[in-house]
Structure 1
Amino acid sequence: MRGLLVLLLAVCCNAVSASVDLLTNSEALSIIKRVAGASRKAGFVGTYLHQHGAELETFRVARVVDADGEYEKREPLEGVAREIVRNNGQVSCYLPDAPANPADVKRNALTKLFPALINDDAIAALSFFNVSRLPNERVAGIDANVLLLDPRDALRYTRKLWFDPSSGMLLKIASLSRKNEIVEQYAFTELTVGGVERKQIRPRYAHRIDIFTPDRNRADPARTQVDSGWEVRSIPAGYRVVRESKVAVGNRLTPVSHMWLSDGWGAVSVFIEPLPKPKHSGGDTPAKQASAPEQAKPPAAVPHMLINQGVVNVYTRSVNDMSVVVMGDVPDAVVTAIGNGIAPRVPIAR
Structure 2
Amino acid sequence: MKGFAVVVGFCAFLAHSAVLAEAPGDPLSWLGRIASAGHRLNYSGIFIYQSGKNFETSRIAHLADPVGGERERLEVLDGSPREVIRNNSEVRCVLPDQKMVIVDQPGGQRAFPSRLPASFGGLAENYRIRKGEVGRVAGLDAQLIVLEPKDNLRYGHLLWAELQSGLLLKARTVGETGEIIEQFTFSDVKIGGEIGSEALKPRYTGESDWRVVRAHGVEVPREEIGWSLSAPLPGFALTSVVRRPLGNDRGEALHLVFSDGLAAVSVFIEPAGTSGTRPGVVPMATGAVNMYKRIVAGHVVTALGEVPLETVRRMGDGIERGAR
TM bracket, shorter-chain basis: 0.7 to 0.9
The match for 1:23 is none
After superposition, give the CA deviation of every residue in 1:116-136 in whole Å (9 maximum; x if it has no partner).
Answer: 110134443233111222222
Q: Is the 8 A contact 1:272 1:323 kept in 2?
A: yes
Please give the TM-score of this superposition, normalised by the length of structure 2: 0.78
The SS at the match of 2:102 is helix
Please give the TM-score of this superposition, normalised by the length of structure 1: 0.73
The SS at the match of 1:207 is coil
Q: Using a 3 Å threshold, how does the CA distance of structure 1 residues 100 and 329 change in structure 2: closer, same or farther?
A: closer
Distance 1:59 1:109 in 2: 21
Distance 2:283 2:228 in 1: 21
The match for 1:59 is 58
Larger radius of gyration: 1
After superposition, give the CA deviation of every residue in 1:180-220 in whole Å (9 maximum; x if it has no partner).
Answer: 1111111100011111233243415352489899xx95xxx
Of 313, 324, 327, the residue aligned with 2:301 is 324
Distance 1:319 1:202 in 2: 45
The match for 2:102 is 106
Residue identity over aligned pairs, in percent, reads: 30
Distance 2:33 2:94 in 1: 33
Distance 1:90 1:321 in 2: 33
Whichever residue aligns with residue 164 of structure 1, its letter is E
Q: Is the 8 A contact 1:109 1:211 kept in 2?
A: no
The match for 1:243 is 240
Of 259, 269, 272, the residue aligned with 1:272 is 269
Q: Using a 3 Å threshold, how does the CA distance of structure 1 residues 109 and 241 change in structure 2: closer, same or farther?
A: closer
After superposition, give the CA deviation of every residue in 1:134-187 in whole Å (9 maximum; x if it has no partner).
Answer: 222221011221121111111210100111111111100111011211111111
Greater strand share, structure number:
2
The match for 1:290 is none
The match for 1:10 is none
Q: Say if 2:141 is the partner of 1:143.
A: yes
Q: Using a 3 Å threshold, how does the CA distance of structure 1 residues 210 and 84 change in structure 2: closer, same or farther?
A: farther
Could you tell me how far 1:43 is from its partner in structure 2?
A: 0.7
After superposition, give the CA deviation of every residue in 1:280-330 in whole Å (9 maximum; x if it has no partner).
Answer: xxxxxxxxxxxxxxxxxxx99722343333211112223233332211111
For the aligned residue pairs, the C-alpha RMSD in angstroms reads 3.3
After superposition, give the CA deviation of every residue in 1:105-124 in whole Å (9 maximum; x if it has no partner).
Answer: 42899885311110134443
The match for 1:258 is 255
Q: Is the 8 A contact 2:84 2:91 kept in 1?
A: yes
Could you tell me how far 1:101 is from its partner in structure 2?
A: 4.5
Distance 2:278 2:83 in 1: 42
Q: Using a 3 Å threshold, how does the CA distance of structure 1 residues 312 and 60 change in structure 2: closer, same or farther?
A: same
The match for 2:22 is none
Q: Using a 3 Å threshold, how does the CA distance of structure 1 residues 265 and 335 change in structure 2: closer, same or farther?
A: same
> Could you list the runs of 5+ residues in structure 2 that have no partner in the other structure?
1-24
The match for 1:3 is none
Q: Say if 2:292 is the partner of 1:315.
A: yes
> Could you list the runs of 5+ residues in structure 1 that have no partner in the other structure?
1-25, 278-298
